[in-house]
């Protein structure tokens, strides 16, 4: 009888322990499910967020970064670059009249600004890689001026001359044209070689205008003769 009583008490205790374990397991399971749900919700909204950002980037592509020319060479401001492909010349145009600047490229001798109406005058030494082959130019030859935004403008040679060092007529401004004048020393610095050029497009426009005016004048004359 005592044995049964002891057995019953032990069974009852074991049953109570089982209920406690069962309650503990349910709490643990509920906690795990809650964490899983939180992770799933975070993944869902994270996916939607990044997916929407990706669509925005595709709909509005970023503007490409525009390259620009270097701003200085040896402390001198860079205004642009001259490229004479046939003479293997590619030199920065420096905003200075100092002799030291001439050792680092070609310089702005006179004028307003590049690729604008007027006469922009560029001087450079008569040495390899700069203006040693300037005498090879012929009327009609072309070269390129590159501005700080890397925009290229083509120029066509219109006049070549040799002048005395004191002759500054080549610096005169003509506001009706977009001109570049290249100047270098010759004959042991006893003379100056001057190469004048005009913007290629402006020359073509001027030629077209002259052709149109000539045609109109011819037509007017013929009409007048017919009326007589």
| Residue 24 pLDDT | 54
Q: By percentage, how much of the chain surpasses pLDDT 90?
A: 57
pLDDT at 221 over 60: no
Q: What kind of architecture, by CATH, is found in domain 72-207?
A: Beta Barrel (2.40)
Beta-carbon count within 10 A of 171 CB: 14
Quick one: average pLDDT of 131-158?
96
**Is residue 58 predicted with pLDDT exceeding 90?**
no
Which residue pairs, CB below 8 angstroms and at least 24 apart, start in 203-210?
203/156, 203/158
Which DSSP state fits 72? E
Say what the pLDDT of residue 48 is. 80
Please report the pLDDT score of residue 218 as a whole number: 47
Other C-beta atoms lying within 10 Å of the C-beta of residue 114: 21
- Please name the residue ranges forming H helices in the chain: 2-59, 99-102, 200-227
pLDDT tens string 186-218: 999 999 999 999 999 988 766 554 544 544 544
Domain boundaries, the chain: 1-62, 72-207
* Residue 219 in this model has a pLDDT that exceeds 80: no
**Cβ(131)–Cβ(124) below 8 Å:** yes
Between the alpha carbon of residue 38 and those of residues 26, 28, 42, 50, 223, the distances in Å are 18, 16, 6, 18, 92
pLDDT at position 66 is 64
Predicted structure pTM score: 0.64
Q: Are strands 191-199 and 89-94 parallel, antiparallel or unpaired?
A: unpaired
Predicted local distance difference test score (pLDDT) of residue 206 = 60
Q: What is the DSSP string of 113-139?
A: -TTSSEEEEEE--SSTTTTTTGGG--T
Rounded distance, CA 145 to CA 180, Å? 9
pLDDT reported for residue 1? 46
Q: Would you say 104 and 73 are in contact if contact means Cβ atoms under 8 Å apart?
A: yes
Asked whether the beta carbons of 176 and 117 are under 8 A apart, the reply is: yes
Question: Who has greater pLDDT, 139 or 2?
Answer: 139
Q: pLDDT tens-digit profile of 43-53?
A: 887 778 777 76
pLDDT band for position 130 (cuts 50, 70, 90): very high
Q: For residue 1, what are its two tokens?
A: 């009888």
**Is residue 137 pLDDT above 60, yes or no?**
yes
pLDDT tens for 148-192 read 999 999 999 999 999 999 999 999 999 999 999 999 999 999 999
The pLDDT assigned to 31 comes to: 78
Distance between CA atoms of 106 and 224, rounded to whole angstroms?
Answer: 56
User: Which DSSP symbol is given to 186?
Assistant: E
Strands 89-94 and 76-84 come out as antiparallel
Q: pLDDT tens digits, residue range 65-94?
A: 568 899 999 999 999 999 999 999 999 999
pLDDT at 202: 84
């Amino acid at each position: 009888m005592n044995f049964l009583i002891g057995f019953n008490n032990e069974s009852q205790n074991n049953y109570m322990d089982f209920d406690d374990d069962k309650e503990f397991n349910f709490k643990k399971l509920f906690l795990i499910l809650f964490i899983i749900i939180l992770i799933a919700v975070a993944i869902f909204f994270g996916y939607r967020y990044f997916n929407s950002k990706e669509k925005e980037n595709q709909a509005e592509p970023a503007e490409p970064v525009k390259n620009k020319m270097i701003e200085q060479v040896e402390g001198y401001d860079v205004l642009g670059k001259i490229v004479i492909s046939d003479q293997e010349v590619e030199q920065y145009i420096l905003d200075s009249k100092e002799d030291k600047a001439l050792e680092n490229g070609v310089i702005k001798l006179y004028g307003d600004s590049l690729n604008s109406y007027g006469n922009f005058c560029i001087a450079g030494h008569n040495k390899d890689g700069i203006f040693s082959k300037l005498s090879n130019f012929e009327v009609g030859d072309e070269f390129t001026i590159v501005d700080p935004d890397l925009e290229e403008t083509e120029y066509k040679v219109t006049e070549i001359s040799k002048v005395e060092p004191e002759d500054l007529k080549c610096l005169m401004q003509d506001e009706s044209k977009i001109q570049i004048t290249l100047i270098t020393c010759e004959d042991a610095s006893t003379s100056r070689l001057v190469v004048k050029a005009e913007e290629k497009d402006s020359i073509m426009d001027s030629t077209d205008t002259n052709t149109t005016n000539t045609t109109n004048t011819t037509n007017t004359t013929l009409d007048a003769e017919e009326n007589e």
